[in-house]
Amino acid sequence: MKRIWLLPLLLGACTSAGSPTPSPAPIAMATRPLVDTTRPSLLGPGKQVPLALHWTRASAEHRANLLQSYRGAEARLRVLAAPLSRGSWAVIMDADETVLDNSLYFQRQAERGYRGFTYNWPNFVHEAIAPALPGAVSFTSLVHELGGRLVIVTNRAENLCPDTRRNLENAGIKADAVLCHPPGVEDKNPRFVAVQQGHVEGLPALHVVMWVGDNVQDFPGLTQAQMRTAPDTAFTEFGRSWWILPNPIYGSWQNNPLPSRP
């Protein structure tokens, strides 16, 4: 997870002009704002939420995406863990929008007219009420069942780590370690290395068989700048050792320029 709010993108809405001939009618591309004012809002009459948040909070597709991804990850994990001794390996996961669902926080932000993590994020974390995302409890339980260690590597600030651990426990996620980011250092790669080299208190050096996250920067060595224009071959590990989950609300992708061509 990277804490950046949604940029004011425009979504295309397609409308077809009628034609008396059998040939396809030309499609006129209109634009509409990110907030859909034509449909009922989660917040009640007269109040609107961004479409990305509405999709995350209310759609069957979001749940289906998560369950599909986690079921695929479970099947793959069984294969990866089979030849390994118990306690020798680990799965590294992000926290926010990977195992914990913070969409209620963003709904509250919309209710107040705020955007992103600009208001009361520490208070929300202190509440420790974010539920587990669909599929997360089953997957994390399987990690332990197969003999692995579960390490959460999150970019929540270090002073939020105690409440984060409490929230994970409340949500049914039993982590062997939770590594928040040190002051001013959001790069996760040093923490990945610490897990692999045995520099995490209470854990031996571990062979990391899988990473799970909602952002390309939740995976070792990856950046938006590198991956957004990379060839398909650069994505080979996705679906093998790397599993990525949908998060249209925020992320490091927001700094990417929109392409000007198809």
pLDDT digits (tens, 9 = 90+) for 129-178: 999 999 999 999 999 999 999 999 999 999 999 999 999 999 999 999 99
Question: How distant, in Å, are the alpha carbons of 49, 66, 68, 98, 142 from that of 245?
Answer: 22, 6, 10, 7, 18
CA atoms of 226 and 223, how far apart (whole Å): 5
With 0-12 / 13-18 / 19 or more C-beta atoms within 10 angstroms meaning exposed / middle / buried, residue 98 is buried
15-24, 200-209, 225-234: range with lowest mean pLDDT: 15-24
Which residues have a Cβ under 8 Å from the Cβ of 167 and sit 6 or more positions away? Answer: 100, 125, 128, 129, 130
φ/ψ (deg, to 5) at 235: -100, 20
Q: Is the dihedral of CA 38, 40, 46, 50 positive or negative?
A: negative
Calculate mean pLDDT across residues 102-130: 90
Which residues have a Cβ under 8 Å from the Cβ of 100 and sit 6 or more positions away? Answer: 130, 131, 132, 133, 136, 167, 168, 171, 173
Question: Which domains does the chain possess?
Answer: 61-255 (3.40.50.1000)
pLDDT digits (tens, 9 = 90+) for 211-236: 999 999 999 999 999 999 999 999 99
Under the banding of pLDDT at 50, 70 and 90, the label for residue 48 is confident
Does an H or E element contain 167, and which?
A: helix 161-170
Under the banding of pLDDT at 50, 70 and 90, the label for residue 118 is confident
Task: Tell the residue number behind the tokens 């939420």, with chain if given.
Answer: 49
How would you label 185-217 residue by residue, b for 16+ Cβ within 10 Å and e otherwise? Answer: eeebeebbebbbeeebeebeebebbbbbbbbbb
- pTM attached to this predicted model: 0.83
